[in-house]
Amino acid sequence: MSAPALSIVTSMYRSAPFLSDFHARCTAAARALTGDYEIVLVNDGSPDESLRIALELHARDPHVRVIDLSRNFGHHKALMTGLAHARGELVFLIDCDLEEDPAWLSRFHDTMTTSSADVVFGVQEARKGGWVERTAGQIFFSVFNRMLTHPIPVNVVTARLMTSRYVKALVSHQERELCLAGLWAITGFEQQPISVRKGDRGESTYTLRTRISALANAITSFSNRPLVYIFQIGVAVMMLSVAAGAILLYKSLSGDIGVPGWASIMVSIWFLGGLIIFCIGVIGMYLAKIFTEIKQRPYTIVRAEYGRERDSA
């Protein structure tokens, strides 16, 4: 079977309430461009009825393909798996929770048609959510981009329209610990942003702990600057120690120091001890990355695939 003109790719995790509406809106958006399309739904080990609903959609609509992963591997890994299975000449990546509007496809396609871009992606006009979410997002992009040689656009969203040659280059990355925003940037090609306004469906599945973990993973996946900073901190502490030692020696020889103070000793021990543990922890994160990557394990495992050509388990 020849490759379809368009692939729409998304992942499912606790997505049951949105899937039917998402399918209808994606179908309308795709048919406005072409009748030759596919909708790839990747089940990321969702504990709700997402898989059942997706299979019902597949049974009714031959344009729907379902990739069922063996367990929950994570949002970014599920999306990359979907991209690896997409067959379209153009690939539209989008989250299925309807915070991102499938109707954006038309705008993205118009921009791609009038430009030479291989990627057209969405950037939020203003970050949605409450004060905590907005502040966390601002901190993430600020800290992350300071660590990168190829900064990512601030408030970038998942939704993007890509050419097949860009997708092929994107999925050629072999990382097991994925940060999609960083991969999007370092893959290169001409990329064109479009201002969009996301909806707000309320509570996010990304908790504060998840966001902090994602930031640490992103930094250690794309930057060696924390290791450079450790060296710089070590040099600074060494120079500070030498200066403090010279001052104390001078005061001791001049008789200005009596009995050494207990407080200053304890502060020094706690400070240096904490600094050493922090530095070892940063090095440990990089060692953990090496430990994971060197195993060359697949970052997802497909349990079953239901598509145009076959339904297999």
User: Can you give the CATH number for the domain in which 97 is found?
Assistant: 3.90.550.10
On the question of pLDDT at 251 being above 60, the answer is: yes
Give just the sign of the alpha carbon dihedral 47, 50, 54, 55: positive
* Residue at 189 is within a domain: yes
* Residue at 268 is within a domain: yes
Are residues 88 and 36 part of one domain? yes
Q: Residue 115: CA atoms inside 13 Å, Cβ hemisphere, count?
A: 19
Are residues 177 and 165 part of one domain? yes
* Residue at 97 is within a domain: yes
Cα 214 from Cα 307, distance rounded (Å): 32
* Residue at 277 is within a domain: yes
Are residues 102 and 190 part of one domain? yes
pLDDT at 23: 97
Q: CB of 42 within 8 A of CB of 79?
A: yes
Are residues 70 and 110 part of one domain? yes
* Residue at 10 is within a domain: yes
* Residue at 64 is within a domain: yes
Residues 57-81: pLDDT tens digits? Answer: 999 999 999 999 999 988 889 999 9
pLDDT at 312: 46
Residues 295-306: pLDDT tens digits? Answer: 677 778 899 999
Are residues 288 and 301 part of one domain? no
Give just the sign of the alpha carbon dihedral 130, 132, 137, 142: positive
* Residue at 91 is within a domain: yes
Are residues 41 and 11 part of one domain? yes
Are residues 302 and 285 part of one domain? no
Are residues 199 and 283 part of one domain? no
Task: Tally the domains of the chain.
Answer: 2
pLDDT at 282: 75
What percentage of residues in the chain have a pLDDT greater than 90?
Answer: 43
Lowest mean pLDDT among 150-164, 214-228, 230-244: 214-228
Structural domain range at position 280: 225-294
Are residues 230 and 200 part of one domain? no
Are residues 147 and 68 part of one domain? yes
Lowest mean pLDDT among 163-177, 196-210, 296-310: 196-210
* Residue at 219 is within a domain: no
Coil, helix or strand at residue 300: coil
Are residues 158 and 176 part of one domain? yes
Cα 167 from Cα 158, distance rounded (Å): 14
Are residues 93 and 193 part of one domain? yes
